[in-house]
Structure 1
Amino acid sequence: MKVTDSSVIRFHLQVLHGITVGSFEGRRDRLFIGTAKVFGVPLENLPRRYIPEFGLVPCFLVDACLFLLERAGTVGLFRKPGSLPRIKTLRTKLNSGEGSLSTALSYDVATLIKQFCRELPEPLFPSELHEALLKAQALSNTEDRTSALQLLSCLLPARNSSCLHYLFSFLFGVSQRCAENLMTSSNLATVFAPCLLPPPNKAEMSEGRLELRVLVLRAFIENPHMFGNKPIILSPLAAL
């Protein structure tokens, strides 16, 4: 049976993996009328483009990723920072709806992608999922770990899922050129951990907890096909 209902997914996570996830689907979309801003704006208020296989993805993210895919061999992409003055100017133009990435530099655009993710009012991975993701990553059995992470990705709101699936697929492509850019999936996961799974407090910044965050992202970067792809598992009664 292919899992489709969030309550069934939660049931299997609890029964099969001992992971409990509270409900967070009740959040209401917030509308900000009359703004062209790209940064610091909720996903639901951003201009989005339909991309087959992924769904609706923010136009900025699509444009930035396509721009960098052509330059994915750049050494230290996402690790080396861009120029702050250039980035500030480009941000201002993008937020006014007049900006273009066509003449930008790779490091500047890579920095903008990280800023875009980091400055969302709510992380792409909702905070309610963070602890469950870390518990899933800590499971000792590889198959259980993969199953739990995949199920958790299916609980995301559609707008978050589309955005993350697209981003992880892009980062997978970047990692495939690590011989040129020196950015492995582990390097990329380390760079994006503060943007996608930000620690909420100092207690969560211990080496072990930070490592789990990196490993979660590494798993999705290396296997973007499993993100949000509902697995075929036993029926709820058979799982008992």
Structure 2
Amino acid sequence: MRVKSANLQHDRLSQSKSMVLIDAAEVTKPISRHRRNHSQHYVTDNLINKSFLVNQNKEGILNKTKISEKGKKLRKSWMTTYVVLSEERLEFYKDAKELTANLKSGTKSEYIDLCGAQIEWTNEKSSRKNVFQITTESGNEFLLQSDADVTVQEWFCAIRNTIDSLGTVKPFSRLSVQKSASTEILHQGLELKEKKSEQRKSLVFKLNYSASDSSDRNKVKTRLKKFIIRRPSLKTLQEKGLIKDQVFGCHLETLCKRENATVPHFVRMCIEAVEKRGLDADGLYRVSGNLSTIQKLRFVVNQEEKLNLDDSQWEDIHVVTGALKMFFRELPDPLFPHSFFEQFVEAIKIPESNRQLKTLRALVILLPPCNRDTMKALFEHLRKIVFNTSTNLMSTQSLGIVFGPTLLGSESDSGNMAVCMVYQNQIVELMISEFDAIFC
């Protein structure tokens, strides 16, 4: 006879349920009767089953190109590659033979880490059809493509499912999967408790340190204040020779006063060197010299070392002319002072030639002596360059273009820059061509 029991209905239900199970792993897996065991292993069992169902390997041929690496755009270079989709990445091989060889030798291949990646269809980044883009968490961008519509759809869905299953955190390792949920929660609580205790200790240490060290800090502040009050002034240091004024970037009047002259010594040296060995040089003042050599010359001049422009290291005449242009360009107040700029512009606008020259001559006379004498020496030098225009190919117009923005300009940037540059060039051209009428 068959004995009825209280568990009979439950047994029949479990038997009927087992007959419709699809997953063989779930059929053979024993049913846990204990509630605690069931709660501990529920999360990890679901993770194992999810990874088993979603992360199935897929292989095939696709066209691939890399268009960006960490935000930097790359040139597209399509290539046919054998692609393998694994649990958490997309691997690339030349063909199936290379895949087999790499598996035997353990060689690593190029791959895309799909953890935290994004996938989307794109038609704007390539003229090919069926193109989709994968953007990795590190900012690398790849395009994948296939002419077969069904093939590329299958690949897109498989990769998207893998990315969705991974999320933004990499899957658990075998060791971490074996841990129960309650153990992980316990470890997290202990770690959080340790961090809080460490923060309390550091806070207490800071409070004790600040309280005990406040008197020492006040003493240091007092000493620093006394030192700053007692420190010598800039004028005192200059008088003792500890700080020397430089030549480049110094006010013209200050430099001339220091040298007890109305034309800076460096300007005279450059003019003499050019007239001695460079008047016939092609593109004089227009061609740029070696910048590093010009900076080296500038350093020598600023350090007040003995300068000999006939030395072999300064044999390129364009280095000398480049240094002279740099000197005028770095003047805090240009050779044509800011306060005189508008007056010179109004003078160049005068249509009558005689009145124009008289106005310019009167303005030159009103300039400070160092500006006037330096200007006279420079324009007399530029006139000699124009006399040799057949060899150096530097006309009055060419010199006006070179020296216009260097020698004069407005203190404010208001107004039309192009119109302002035209006036600058015209003033320099007229000062060169009418040198005798203006300066003599």
Shorter-chain TM-score range: 0.7 to 0.9
1:37 to 246, 249, 256: 246
* One-letter identity of the residue aligned with 1:59: H
> Is 1:86 aligned with 2:293?
yes
- Which whole-Å CA distance do the structure 1 matches of 2:246 and 2:416 have between them? 31
Deviation at 1:148, TM superposition (A): 1.0
The separation in 2 between residues aligned to 1:203 and 1:44, in whole angstroms, is: 27
Query: Are the equivalent residues in 2 in contact too, given 1:154–1:227 (CA < 8 A)?
Result: no
> CA RMSD for the aligned pairs?
2.0
Amino acid corresponding to residue 131 of structure 1 in structure 2: E
Answer yes or no: is the 8 Å Cα contact 1:36–1:96 preserved in 2. Answer: no
Identify which of 316, 321, 334 aligns with 1:110. Answer: 321
User: In the alignment, does 2:314 pair up with 1:101?
Assistant: no
Cα displacement string for residues 33-80 of structure 1 (whole angstroms, at most 9, x for unaligned residues): 542522111223325476xxxxx3111000100000121111111111
Q: What are the superposed Cα offsets for residues 76-117 of structure 1, whole Å, 9 maximum, x if unpaired?
A: 111111101111111111111223211212101101111111
Could you give the per-residue CA deviations for residues 186-229 of structure 1, whole angstroms, max 9, x where no partner exists? 11111011211134444445333211111111111122233455
Q: Which has the higher contact order (CA 8 A, sep 6+)?
A: 1
**CA contact under 8 A between 1:165 and 1:227: conserved in structure 2?**
no
State the distance in 2 between where 1:114 and 1:183 align: 16
Aligned counterpart, 2:391: 180
Shift of 1:130: 0.6
Could you report, residue by residue, the CA deviation over 1:150-187 in whole angstroms, capped at 9, with x for unpaired residues?
11111101111011011010111111111111111111
Alignment correspondent of 2:194: none
How many residue pairs get aligned? The number is 194
Q: Give distance in 2, aligned partners of 1:198 and 1:81.
A: 22
For residues 159-238 of structure 1, what are the structure 2 equivalents within 5 Å?
Answer: 159-229=370-440
Distance of aligned partners of 1:44 and 1:208 in 2 relative to their CA distance in 1, 3 Å threshold: closer
Confirm whether residue 61 of structure 1 aligns to residue 270 of structure 2.
no
- Compare CA radii of gyration and give the structure with the larger one: 2
Residue 314 of structure 2 corresponds to residue 137 of structure 1: no
Q: Conserved in 2, the CA contact under 8 Å of 1:130 and 1:197?
A: yes
- Matched to 1:37, the amino acid is Q
The answer as to whether partners of 2:357 and 2:438 remain within 8 angstroms in 1 is: no
Deviations, residues 107-165 of structure 1 (Å, cap 9, x unaligned)? 01101111111111211111111111111101111111111111111110111101101
- Aligned letter for 2:300? K
187-196 or 37-46, larger mean C-alpha shift:
37-46
SS in 2 for 1:79: coil
2:418 counterpart letter in structure 1: E
User: Which residue pairs with 2:333 in the alignment?
Assistant: 122
Q: Is the contact made by 2:267 and 2:324 (CA closer than 8 Å) also made in structure 1?
A: yes
Kept in 1: contact 2:405–2:421 (CA 8 A): no
Other-structure match for 2:283: 76
Q: Separation in 2 of the partners of 1:57 and 1:107?
A: 22
Any unmatched runs of 5+ in structure 2?
1-234
Higher share in strand: 2
Contiguous gaps of at least 5 residues in structure 1 = 1-30, 51-55, 230-240
Distance 1:176 1:205, change over 3 A: farther
CA distance in 1, matches of 2:417, 2:249: 27
Q: Which letter does structure 2 place at the counterpart of 1:72?
A: L
Given the two structures, how large is their TM-score scaled by the length of structure 1? 0.75
TM-score scaled by structure 2? 0.42
Where 1:109 maps in the other structure, the secondary structure is helix
In the superposition, relative to structure 1, how do residues 83 and 211 fare at CA in structure 2: closer, same or farther (>3 Å)? same
Identity %: 27
8 Å Cα contact 1:94/1:100 also seen in 2: no
Q: Distance in 2 between matches of 1:49 and 1:78?
A: 28
